[in-house]
Amino acid sequence: MTLSWQSETQLQDMEPHERLHITCLKCSYQWYHDVDEWVGHPCHKYLFVDEIAKLIICPQFGCGCRKFRVAKPFLGDTEAFVGGMP
């Protein structure tokens, strides 16, 4: 069993305004899902992120896949390379 941030993070530990970027591994359909939609449900509040990923079904017409890549989007600033050749 491998440990990752998904198996260590419960939905109640995340900020209510956070979103998860979900990608279907079969059809590559991508969408964002708000954490507060799941936290509002009393049964889902205590689930881990990897357990939530097992409950999702791809919303793309005709796909119906249950395997996803779940990521937290990075909203910070990126830094450019400052160095260079003399």
Domain boundaries, the chain: 5-71
Return the pLDDT at 60: 86
- Kindly report, residue by residue over 3-25, the tens digit of the pLDDT: 777 787 888 888 878 888 889 98
Average pLDDT along the chain: 80
What pTM was estimated for this model as a whole? 0.71
Own/partner contacts of 8-11, CB < 8 Å, gap of 24 or more, are 8/48, 9/48, 9/49, 10/45, 10/46, 10/47, 10/48, 10/49, 11/35, 11/38, 11/39, 11/44, 11/45, 11/46, 11/47, 11/48, 11/49, 11/52
pLDDT digits (tens, 9 = 90+) for 39-54: 777 777 778 888 888 8
Say yes or no to pLDDT of 84 above 70: no
Q: What percent of the chain lies above the pLDDT cut of 70?
A: 84
